[in-house]
Amino acid sequence: MHRIDGPGATVDNKFTEGDPVGGIQATVVTDDFLNDVQEEFISVLAAAGVTPVKGTQDQVLQAIYKLVQSQKATAFTAGGSATALTLTPTPAISAYAANQRFTVKFPVNSGLNPTLNVSAKGAKPIKQYDSTGAKVPAVFVADQVSDVLFDGVDQILLDQLPSNSLSDPWALQPIGVPIAVFDHINGMSPPPTNSSYRYIKLTASDSYNTGVLSSESVTGTAPLVNATALISLSGSPINGQAVRLINTERRDLRAGNSGTVQDDQFQGHTFGDGTNAMRAAPSGVSSGGEFLRLTAGGLLVIMNDGTNGVPRAGNETRSRNIGATYYMRIK
């Protein structure tokens, strides 16, 4: 396309009908100008897939409607990874500008703190608004289609996934509360790691905690294992706080005195030494005795009382139990 520049065009490339009296020539409409104008219109029709028909005067309008409806220049499938996505629109953008908006089909589930790089102009964080109006890392899933608008700083996901008790119960759990999960059951899914919220697994050296725990320490031997770490996640209200990795410690929770750590112990007690309370040999137990006295003043050894089975002994003191994996929300 170009402005008229043939004989009789004004100095600012406009048309004039001329002035014969004043000796001003009328503008000559040249073939190259008309061809440019014609091909501009034809290119609009071609982009919309409209075939030119002689005698039809609304085809450019219909082509524009089709281009708008199909989002020809604004709807594209992203590429890249879960945390570093790319978008290659046609035509490419020359620079980022506020209110640039694209309809994006995501190829993968979102990772932690995802970014979007449009036309190789630099990666920008993909954010969404939470219920308080704060911008948080966006969450999306593979094949999700959403509008993304650049606000001058971040790429804002406008059509975010719903977050409620029916679709995502993990989003409603309070921060700092250990939650027991039977994650050994097939089909059970632990809290996701790519949401605006974040959980940790209270287990040492676990890949689930990548990027959110630091200074892990595991000391001692079973059953007296101590395992701790520091929360390391920007935006977490408990960032920098120490946490006990109780899955690794195999430590039970006890009411009262939050954070106070205790090892196992027996309450102090004594045994009587009545006639029938002790026996001199384990065979033929018939008087209710359940301890063997090795020698006068010696140690007592647990015995079978002939009724309640063989005592269960090991390297720890415990009650009957079933294991569960504890998670805790930190953001």
Q: Is 167 a member of any domain? A: no
Q: Where are the beta strands (DSSP E) in 24-131?
A: 75-77, 79-80, 84-87, 101-105, 115-118, 123-129
- On whether residue 168 sits in a domain, the answer given is no
Classify residue 128 as exposed, middle or buried by CB count within 10 Å of its CB (0-12, 13-18, 19+).
Answer: buried
**Distance in angstroms (rounded) separating the CA atoms of residues 220 and 26:** 99
The residue type of 293 is: R
pLDDT band at 264 (very low <50, low <70, confident <90, very high): confident
Position 136 in a domain: yes
Q: Which residues, including other chains, have CB under 8 Å from residue 188's CB and lie 6 or more apart?
A: 181, 182
Contact indicator for 239, 230 with CB cutoff of 8 Å: no
Which tens digit of pLDDT belongs to each residue from 36-63?
999 999 999 998 899 999 999 999 999 9
The fraction of the chain above a pLDDT of 70, given in percent, is: 87
The domain total for the chain is: 4
In a domain, residue 162? The reply is: no
Query: Mean of the pLDDT values across residues 18-37?
Result: 92
| Same domain assignment for residues 94 and 215 | no
Q: Give the chain's mean pLDDT.
A: 87
What is the domain extent for residue 107?
75-157
Structure confidence at residue 285 (pLDDT): 47
The predicted-structure confidence for 126-161, as pLDDT tens digits, reads as follows 999 987 788 999 999 999 999 999 999 999 999 888
Residue 76 Cα distances to 142, 147, 148, angstroms? 14, 10, 11
Looking at the structure, do residues 200 and 325 belong to the same domain, yes or no? yes
Q: Do residues 5 and 143 share a domain?
A: no
Neighbours of 149 (CB within 10 A): 14
- Residue 139 counted as domain residue: yes
The tokens for 55 are 């005698």
The whole-number pLDDT of residue 64 equals 92
Average pLDDT score over residue span 12-16: 94
Question: Confidence class of residue 227 from pLDDT cuts 50, 70 and 90?
Answer: very high
Which band of pLDDT confidence, cut at 50, 70 and 90, is reported for residue 288?
Answer: very low
Q: How confident is the model at residue 281 (pLDDT cuts 50, 70, 90)?
A: very low
Residue 132 lies in a domain: yes
If asked whether residues 215 and 325 sit together in one domain, one would say: yes
Please determine, for residue 292, whether its predicted confidence score (pLDDT) is greater than 90: no
Q: What is the pLDDT of residues 155-209, one digit of tens each?
A: 999 988 876 545 678 888 999 999 999 999 998 889 999 888 999 999 999 999 9
Alpha helices, DSSP H only, in 205-257?
246-249
**Residue 276 scores a pLDDT above 70:** no
Whole-prediction pTM value? 0.49
Residue 171 covered by a domain: no
- Which of 265, 224, 217, 249 has its CA nearest to residue 323? 249
254 and 325 share one domain: yes
pLDDT tens-digit series, residues 69-128: 888 889 999 999 999 999 999 999 999 999 999 999 999 999 999 999 999 999 999 999
